[in-house]
Amino acid sequence: MILRQFFEPDSSTYTYLLASRRAGEALIIDPVKERLDHYLQAIRELDLRLVHAIDTHTHADHITALGDLRDATACTTIMGERSRAECVSRQVRDGELLRVDGITLQALYTPGHTDESFSFVLEPTAPQAVFTGDVLLIRSTGRTDFQAGDAGLSWHSIVDRLFALPDDTTVYPAHDYKGWTVSSIGEEKRHNPRLAGKTQAEYVEIMRNLNLPNPRLMDVAIPANLACGQAPGSP
């Protein structure tokens, strides 16, 4: 299988390009507008055909490349069913399967960071990896203080849904701010300081007291991302 991890340093965002083989169909998760040329170069050099472009949620810290990838490759743009982005081609439900040429992803509704956040499990019958968006990060979790976030829902999404996956399931988040690139469900159960040995009440208190500033691009990024990263009103 081909799996390429891209990093956008301004927002510390990870993007993932997946395909089962060279010259095959591919999908991309959480693409960033400023890295569009990198994605298209990789797709071209690996002789791939992009079929799906997926956002795990409406990002507040960068502008998505969904619309640009749709225009460049004729791919299907996808978000979860609770997304307010009317520009996407398809909205997936909890448990729904996405298939491309030897790869299966299962959509998993994991609210908390936002009320419309989804994760995506690679090969759900024998889970290999999970793309967690901003819900579960490496040794951290996504903030819950805007976009209808909810720390209690975040706890349930992580502990009841993501931590139900096998311990050796690889965790690929949408962000990292400390140099981590990959983790596993078992590692996060044991070593995530916001979760390991904590009760739900303790977790909610931790999240309530983060006192983080709003993302610098929030007022620009959210409206743009509701239009798939293009000017509002674009097709």
User: Please, what are the domains in the chain?
Assistant: 2-211 (3.60.15.10)
Q: Angle formed by the axes of helices 66-73 and 36-45, to 10°?
A: 40
Chain centroid to Cα 124, Å, comes to 17
The pTM of this model reads 0.96
Which of these, 162, 149, 67, 150, lies nearest to 106 by C-alpha position? 162
- 169-201 b/e (C-beta count within 10 Å ≥ 16 → b): bbbbbbbbeeeeeebbbebbeeebebbeebeee
Helix (H, G, I), strand (E, B) or coil at 33: helix
Which of these, 161, 171, 166, 170, lies nearest to 112 by C-alpha position? 161
The pLDDT, as a whole number, for residue 232 is 60
Mean pLDDT of all residues belonging to the chain: 96
Residue stretches of the chain with pLDDT short of 70? 232-235
The pLDDT, as a whole number, for residue 63 is 97
Residue with tokens 């609210």: 111
Distance CA 53, CA 90 (A): 10
Using one digit for the tens of pLDDT, what is the confidence trace for 105-117? 999 999 999 999 9
The pLDDT, as a whole number, for residue 23 is 82
Please list, in sequence order, all residues whose beta carbon lies within 8 angstroms of the beta carbon of residue 17, skipping any fewer than 6 positions away: 2, 3, 4, 6, 26, 27, 28, 39, 42, 43, 48
Here the tokens at position 94 are: 């909890």
The pLDDT, as a whole number, for residue 22 is 84
